[in-house]
Structure 1
Amino acid sequence: MEQGSSPRRGSGVLVRVVRVCLDVVVGVLALALIGGIVVLVAPGILVRLEQPALQAWCTVLAAVVIQGVPFLLLGTVVSAAVTTLVPDRVLARVLPRNPVLAVPVAGAAGALLPGCECASVPVAGSLIRRGVAPAAALTFLLAAPAVNPVVLVATSIAFPGRPEMVLARLLASLAASVTMGWLWIRLGRTDWLRLTDHQQPTAGRGRLDAFTRALQHDFLHAGGFLVLGAAAAATFNIAVPPAVLESFAGSPWLSVLLLGVLAVVLSICSEADAFVAASLSGFSATARLAFMVVGPMVDLKLIALQAGTFGRVFALRFSTATFVSAVLASTLVGGWLL
């Protein structure tokens, strides 16, 4: 019986791998089909309707979506693999025992282990359950979706010829993440964390199934937010009068705060938010930097995930402090580099 069950388990794993690949291919083809329809069909219809504003809206929407989808797919694949296949003890072993030193190391680990913001919350919760200092786990939660290689490459492509934008995003995101970790050491309280029970899959089959579910959920969920964010950015560029933009652009603080709040509301995946930020050409570079720094750390879906994992009291306090830290870091780094 045992000898006969081994081939069946092997064939079952192969079937699941094939299903994962097919799901990814179908998802990419579906998004490509939608993008093709938007690019090829919609402009012709709009020409007949003689509505150039809608033509411009459609062009901005298609450009943002088409540019962002490849990085969104790559980011969600890597994120799902890291979340489900890399044991939490790998991070626990490399972090120093001293929380003050563990915080910057956890921030640097976020740059080495790519992860979507949706996946970073359960990973941080699992690290805390396994004995990692909360300050280090929360720093990793903020840094992983903001400074990983996929996000930085996407930013360099969204802002061609402007490497200072990539450097500014890296420094501002790391500064905000590490600041929040050290603030937690100073002001945080363990009774604010109300962790729910969660079991990590241990068997090979369980991990593969978890990878499949994580990939499907993250790609479809984040893809929807990407389309909504692109539509909002296109609407913002077309519908808002230039005089209104000039009134905000004239005040550095108001423009930074406005795009920071916009990042919270739009909730765009970090692998694609740079393309939306690049489309907001009416704002200063520092304001668009704030959009890219705030979004991966504080948005509506993250607040909901944090409330479900750590409790509502924690989510309210932590997200508010993170927003302030991200805005200040963006302003300081942007004023210095941009």
Structure 2
Amino acid sequence: MGGGGPGGGRRLRGERIGSVEVLAALLVLLVVFREPVAGLLSTPRLQTWTTVFVSIMVQAVPFLVFGVLLSAVIAVYVPRSFWARALPRRPALAVPVASAAGVVLPGCECGAVPIAGSLMRRGVTPAAALAFLLAAPAINPIVLTATAVAFPGNPEMVLARGLASLVVAMIMGWLWLRLGRTDWIRLPHRPDLDGLSRGAAFWSAVRHDVVHAGGFLVLGAMAAASINVLVPERWLQTLADNPVLSVLVLALLAVLLSLCSEADAFVAASLSQFSLTSRLVFLVVGPMVDLKLVAMQSGVFGRRFAYRFAPATFVVAVTVAVAVGAVLL
């Protein structure tokens, strides 16, 4: 009788499988059965779509998992008092400190999203957490090293990318302090970790974040693959000669392609018909605003946040990258 009582009904409703879990399971099936599925897709466009989708997921998933693991460590093992000591009490000063912290984290944007959500849950001011979210994927050593390798004849690209990305992160953090509203952020319901051992709480947090963030990553990768197939390559060559349009084209291309920040420098280097400033815009915008990121931010912080934060970040990133490019490149 106990299992059929109200408590049992609440547990059944709470454990109901949702769309995010279905998307995560679909991702696993697509990766496991990649070869049979690819054989069924006989048309070149569908084959290209599958290749782009899988490549985005293969690039992003390891760093997403790394970010989720670090997020769980923050949620379970790091006391709230640590952040009070590590960051300045004044939010305006906490923003540049959190931005600079991105230098020491070797991860990409997919991992930074759940980490930023965990920081907010541990009491870090949203402005500092968001500044870290934007800076970490663009100024960490792995990304800067990849940029140096991709542009061996233009070492100034490394300095320009790091500086522009850091400035954008700080500006967006300060803008949030000035204009942001706490009711725009709605962190998803987390499992109750207080009654669990640290080990059980850690794996519960990992499972929750992988399922939640991973599902939205799948949606973003699907959208990016679709647009990647539909955009004709000849458009790029036609627009490359116009300084203004070339900047806007590569900014939008960075949003649509949704590349991982560890790989985008090699794509930018291959776009040799575009100016260095245009390619810098590509490298600054991509790790901060792209389709998969907007989808993941919608899942972690809520749609009201993502639909405001992403366009503002796009405008600031383009403006700062063009200004830095004009000075350094």
TM-score, structure 2 normalization: 0.69
Q: Return 245-254 or 225-234, whichever deviates more.
A: 225-234
Aligned pair 1:203/2:198, yes or no? yes
Q: Which residue of 1 aligns with 2:260?
A: 269
When you count helix as a share of all residues, which structure comes out higher? 1
Distance 2:255 2:146 in 1: 20
Describe the shift of the 1:212–1:126 C-alpha distance in structure 2 as closer, same or farther (beyond 3 A): closer
| 1:180-329 paired onto structure 2 within 5 Å | 180-199=172-191, 203-204=198-199, 206-207=201-202, 240-241=233-234, 245=236, 247-329=238-320
Q: After the TM superposition, which of the residue ranges 167-176 and 300-309 deviates more from structure 2? A: 300-309
Whichever residue aligns with residue 111 of structure 2, its letter is: A
- Cα 1:212–1:164, aligned 2, differ >3 Å: closer, same or farther? farther
The DSSP-based 3-state class of the residue aligned with 2:327 is helix
The verdict on how the C-alpha distance between 1:228 and 1:269 changes in structure 2, with shifts beyond 3 A counting, is farther
Task: Provide the secondary structure at the position in 2 that maps to 1:297.
Answer: coil
Structure 1 segments unaligned to the other structure (5+ residues): 1-26, 35-53
Residue 225 of structure 1 and its aligned partner are, at CA, apart by 8.8
Aligned length: 278
**Following superposition of structure 1 onto structure 2, how do residues 138-153 of structure 1 map, counting pairs within 5 Å?**
138-153=130-145
Q: Which string of whole-angstrom CA distances, capped at 9 and with x for unpartnered residues, describes residues 288-311 of structure 1?
A: 111111111111111112222222
Computed over aligned residues only, the root mean square deviation of the Cα atoms, in angstroms, reads 3.8
TM-superposed CA distance for 1:314, in Å, is 1.5
* Number of the residue aligned with 2:98: 106
Change over 3 Å in CA distance of 1:79–1:307 after alignment to 2: closer
C-alpha deviation, 1:287, in angstroms: 1.2
The answer to whether the Cα contact below 8 Å between 1:113 and 1:148 also exists between their aligned partners in 2 is yes
For the residue of structure 1 that corresponds to 2:314, the secondary structure is helix
TM alignment of 1:117-136, pairs within 5 A: 117-136=109-128
CA 1:80–1:97 in structure 2 vs 1: closer, same or farther (change >3 Å)? Answer: same
Query: Is structure 2 residue 72 aligned with structure 1 residue 84?
Result: yes
Report how far residue 105 of structure 1 moved: 0.5
CA distance in 2 between counterparts of 1:248 and 1:259 reads 10
Which ranges in structure 2 are unaligned for 5 or more consecutive residues?
1-27, 36-43
Change (3 A) 1:195 1:229: closer
Q: CA deviation at 1:113?
A: 2.3
Q: In structure 2, which of residues 67, 87, 91 is the aligned counterpart of residue 95 of structure 1? A: 87
Letter in 2 for 1:286: T
Q: In percent, how many aligned pairs have the same letter?
A: 54
Instruction: Indicate the SS of the match to 2:288.
Output: coil
